[in-house]
């Protein structure tokens, strides 16, 4: 008798959970379409910078240091924001690419 009540209770619990999750899945609206970004390649390129190797980063630093004023300003801004590591790499990349 107790075993039957346990099985029935378990079955009802499983059905309630399944019904609730189905209702939740149906009631949530799909995500609205993403609005096109003005420059989709910038964010993806910035993400790629975070995956650069140290060798690639050092090569780009050599290139960017040719514009000493801009390089110093970008590094100063990264320092002011207390960025370090690859987060600073992405920031400096964006800064150097900006006109």
Q: How confident is the model at residue 77 (pLDDT cuts 50, 70, 90)?
A: very high
Cα–Cα dist 60/82, whole Å? 21
* Count of domains observed in the chain: 1
What CA–CA distance (Å, rounded) separates 89 from 5? 63
Query: Rounded distance, CA 64 to CA 86, Å?
Result: 16
Question: Pick from 55, 54, 48: which is nearest to 85 by CA?
Answer: 54
Residue 73 has pLDDT above 90, yes or no: yes
Over 50: is that where the pLDDT of 67 sits? yes
In-domain check, residue 83: yes
Q: Is the pTM of this model over 0.85?
A: no
Query: Which tokens is 18 given?
Result: 């399944």
Q: Which tens digits make up the pLDDT trace of 11-65?
A: 666 666 766 655 555 555 555 555 444 444 455 666 788 788 889 889 989 999 9
Residue 15 confidence (pLDDT):
64
Within-domain flag for 44: yes
Cα of 4 vs its chain's centroid, Å: 50
For residue 1, being part of any structural domain is answered with no
Q: Give the per-residue pLDDT at 36.
A: 44
pLDDT at 99: 58
Does 57 reside within a domain?
Answer: yes
């Amino acid at each position: 008798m107790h075993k039957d009540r346990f099985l029935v209770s378990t079955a009802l619990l499983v059905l309630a959970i399944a019904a609730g999750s189905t209702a939740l899945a149906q009631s949530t609206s799909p995500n609205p379409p993403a609005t096109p970004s003005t420059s989709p390649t910038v964010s993806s390129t910035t993400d790629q910078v975070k995956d650069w190797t140290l060798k690639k980063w050092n090569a780009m630093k050599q290139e960017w240091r040719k514009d000493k004023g801009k390089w110093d300003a970008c590094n100063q801004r990264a320092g002011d924001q207390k960025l370090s590591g690859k987060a600073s790499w992405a920031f400096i990349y964006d800064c150097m690419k900006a006109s």
